[in-house]
Structure formats: C-alpha cells, structure tokens
Amino acid sequence: MSLLEILEFPDPRLRKKALPVNKVDAAIKQTIDNMFETMYSASGIGLAATQVNIQKRLLIIDIADEEEDPNPLVFINPEITVIDPEPYRHEEGCLSVPGYYEFVERPTKVLVKALNREGDPIEMEAEGLLAVCIQHEIDHLNGKLFVDYLSVLKRQRIKSKLEKEHKQKASA
Ligand code: GNR
Ligand code: NI
C-alpha cells in the first residue's frame, strides 16, 4: 500500500470531472486500498478519487467513530437520488481545505446506488452524517467543493490563506 498526495484548494485539478469506472479490476482495488490508507492516515471520514488526482468515479467513506471498529464503505460510479429534500445543516470540513470548517445545508436523506469493491451493485439509504459525507464526496467527483456553498467573501478568504500557506511551504 502507499500514501497518496491529497490536492488542496485552489488546485485546479480539484475542478476536473471524474469519469466512470468501466471495470472493477485489480488496479482499482489497489487504488481503493491506497485511498483507505491515505484517508485513515489523514483522520478523514471520506475521500474521493479526485482529491488524490485520480479522475475516476470512486469514493470511500468510514464514519465509524471507534478506531478499533472500522466500517469501510466503497462507492464506485455512485448515483444519488434525494429521498427527503428538507435542508439538513452540518458543519463540514475537507481534507482538501485543511483547517476550515463551515456549515453547509444539503438534502436530509438520499438513496445511493453504486458498485462495491467487488463490482456488485449496492443500494443504500443515507441520512445524518453519512448522507452529508456521500453528498460531499460526490460533489468532489463533479469538481465541486464545500467552499462553493459559502459566500464569495468567505471562499476568497479561505483561498487567500491557503495560497499563502502553500507559498510558505514551497519556500521552506
Ligand atoms: O474528513 C472529513 N470530514 C467531514 C466532516 C463533515 C462533512 C464532510 C466531511 S468529509 C471530510 C473528508 C473529505 O474531505 N472528504 O472529501
Ligand atoms: Ni472533501
């Protein structure tokens, strides 16, 4: 396994739209394993392939709070439909926007259809944090970030601060 580099806002590669996975083969499984290693290492609860510069419709989630009892979920070519559109407000963070947390409103309950790690079709109803996370990750696959839901001013502030950090790191 290996750790992958996580792209950070405002990297333009985070804006690319991911392409469908046409075969769940050994290479995809290797990518999935590397993504889990990367996500757990960064203490994230979700990771989309886009964030590690892989333009494939693939995301992983583990919202289990007990480190000893992981619940790794894999969604390949996910399709989402809204079951309950009532806005649900949750404070979001993102491994690609490190250090910033803001409230975002999304539909309360969704149905997700996807393929699992074995390439078998799965369906899952999600609400609460899981619904938030799945919608956040599918946004990544479409080149969208949670900061896009914020005001222009807030987004611009976050962008400037992260750009400054990136410059400092590059010259360190
Ligand atoms: O680790 C993460 N935490 C989180 C918290 C609230 C809403 C969404 C998330 S996803 C984020 C990991 C990440 O950036 N996934 O793309
Ligand atoms: Ni994210």
pLDDT, tens digit only, all 172 positions of the chain: 899 999 999 999 999 999 999 999 999 999 999 999 999 999 999 999 999 999 999 999 999 987 788 999 999 999 999 999 999 999 999 999 999 999 999 999 999 999 999 999 999 999 999 999 999 999 999 999 999 999 999 999 999 999 999 999 999 8
Is the distance from the beta carbon of residue 145 to the nearest atom of ligand 1 less than 6 Å?
no
Where do we find the tokens 């469908």? 20
Question: Catalytic pick from 105, 123, 137, 163?
Answer: 137
Ligand 1 site-directed mutation target among 14, 36, 136, 146, most atoms within 8 Å of CB: 136
Cβ atoms < 10 Å from Cβ of 25:
10
Instruction: Looking at the CA of 137, name the nearest ligand.
Output: 1
Is the distance from the beta carbon of residue 140 to the nearest atom of ligand 1 less than 6 Å?
yes
Is 5 an active-site residue? no
Closest residue (by CA) to atom 7 of ligand 1?
A: 92
pLDDT at 18: 98
pLDDT at 113: 98
Instruction: Looking at the CA of 44, name the nearest ligand.
Output: 1
In the DSSP assignment, the letter for residue 148 is: G
105 touches 84 (CB < 8 A): no
Please, what's the b/e burial string for 57-72 (b: 16 or more CB within 10 A of its CB; e: otherwise)? Answer: bbbbbbeeeeeeeeee
Ligand 1 site-directed mutation target among 9, 11, 47, 94, most atoms within 8 Å of CB: 94
